Amino acid sequence: MKNTSGLKPLTVLSLHRISTDKDFFWTPIHPHRFEQLVKQLVQKYQLVNFHQLPDIKTSTRPLLILSFDDGYYDFMEYALPVLRKYKVTANHNLVIDCLTSNKVIWTQRLGFIFNHFLDKNLNPELSLKGKVLETKSFKNLMQLYFFIYKQLLLCNHQTRDEFLVDLESRFDVPGKARMMDWNDAAECLKNGVEIGSHSYTHDVLSVIQGEVELNKEFLDSRRILSERLSTEIDAFAFPNGQFKENHLPLMEKAGYKYALLVNDKINERQDYQSDSLLLINRINMINENVFLMGMRANLVQQKVKKLFNYNA
């Protein structure tokens, strides 16, 4: 890839839920904090989306993309009004199953389960892949949650779903997140939000072996989004950040231009008119005050930790 001297480095922020909901294990960004962040960003950056990148020849300010994943309905309630207010665009990567049937992604289901354990002060016996887990050996529920999450990343869809269904039914877990539907996605497009793919099912792509299944996640998701919404789908965001190198040729075959990672890096100058698939770094954003979110967007926090050799 050749450099484009007139362009600034590109910062892409990775966001998920913007909501007032309480979630101890995956706290959404509060709407007030999100608006504070956008207000701060528009003063320093030129906010764009992936469709616009090839046409930007020069820029007086650094480029930044607000990149959302999953398609929770709270985007319509809290994020879209802020984007309209400040007249800025964004990228939102959607899941076909969620748009079609309000299917809740497995990571959110796991969050509902563990929030229920926390609310009811439960420390239940859990078993995964036939092995009973010594749950009492974990210091707290958060440590157990992350252990289970990492284990589920290694499971195929059937094993993962059976584990979640067992817990949901055994402990009568409440909670049902509302996801965006096709009408909501069309409304986003009308308001200048670019749509990308976040796969067909939100499965862990790195554990899928079959070519038919992978084609469904990459090719079919792009085709259906493009046909239903009458728009070009340039970006694909890997669910849970999991991918393999052999996925990239499939993505190029499908017609994607950008493969979106979450690795807390800024993108250096590059030619966004390139015909080859570009790997795009994204910075994960969490619910913290606007000063810290601004530092995170600029990667200042990582620099400070390196300086003092500190790991949070």
The 10s digit of each residue's pLDDT in 221-257 is 999 999 999 999 999 999 988 888 889 999 999 999 9
Tokens 């979640």 found at: 164
| Alpha carbons 268 and 281: distance in angstroms, whole number | 10
**Is pLDDT above 70 for 154?**
yes
Is 35 or 296 the better-scoring residue by pLDDT?
35
Residue 312 pLDDT? 39
Alpha helices in the chain (DSSP H): 31-44, 74, 80-85, 96-101, 106-119, 141-152, 157-170, 182-190, 211-215, 221-229, 247-254, 290-297, 300-307
Is residue 252 helix, strand or coil? Answer: helix
Is residue 1 helix, strand or coil? Answer: coil
Residue-wise pLDDT for 89-98, tens only, equals 999 999 999 9
Sorted by sequence, the CB contacts under 8 Å of residue 158 that are 6+ apart come out as none
| Alpha carbons 34 and 53: distance in angstroms, whole number | 24
Per-residue pLDDT band for 304 (boundaries 50, 70, 90) equals very low
Specify the length of the chain in residues: 312
Residue 57 pLDDT? 81
**Using an 8 Å Cβ cutoff, are 125 and 101 in contact?**
no
Tokens 């994020």 found at: 79
Residue 149 pLDDT? 95
Residue 37 pLDDT? 96
Please give the distance of CA 245 from its chain centroid, rounded to a whole number. Answer: 20
Q: What is the mean pLDDT of residues 116-140?
A: 86
Residue 285 pLDDT? 92
| Alpha carbons 125 and 242: distance in angstroms, whole number | 28
Instruction: Please state, for a pLDDT cut of 70, what percent of the chain lies above it.
Output: 92
Residue 29 pLDDT? 96
Per-residue pLDDT band for 302 (boundaries 50, 70, 90) equals low
Dihedral over alpha carbons 262, 267, 273, 279 (to 10 degrees): -30
Strand-pair category, 131-133 with 193-197: unpaired
Is residue 255 helix, strand or coil? Answer: coil
| Alpha carbons 190 and 259: distance in angstroms, whole number | 24
> Residue 14 forms beta bridges with which residues?
67, 284
Using alpha carbons only, how large is the chain's radius of gyration in Å?
20
> Residue 46 forms beta bridges with which residues?
63
Residue-wise pLDDT for 13-54, tens only, equals 999 999 999 999 999 999 999 999 999 999 999 999 999 998
**Is pLDDT above 90 for 3?**
no
Residue 113 pLDDT? 95
Residue 303 pLDDT? 53
Instruction: Please state, for a pLDDT cut of 90, what percent of the chain lies above it.
Output: 70
Residue-wise pLDDT for 172-231, tens only, equals 998 778 999 999 999 999 999 999 999 999 999 999 988 999 999 999 999 999 999 999
| Alpha carbons 47 and 65: distance in angstroms, whole number | 6
Q: What is the mean pLDDT of residues 7-16?
A: 89
Per-residue pLDDT band for 125 (boundaries 50, 70, 90) equals confident
Residue 7 pLDDT? 64
**Using an 8 Å Cβ cutoff, are 136 and 145 in contact?**
no
CATH 3.30.230.10 fits 10-102+180-307, yes or no: no
Residue 268 pLDDT? 82
**Using an 8 Å Cβ cutoff, are 83 and 192 in contact?**
yes
* Alpha carbon distances (Å) from 44 to 33, 38, 298: 17, 10, 11
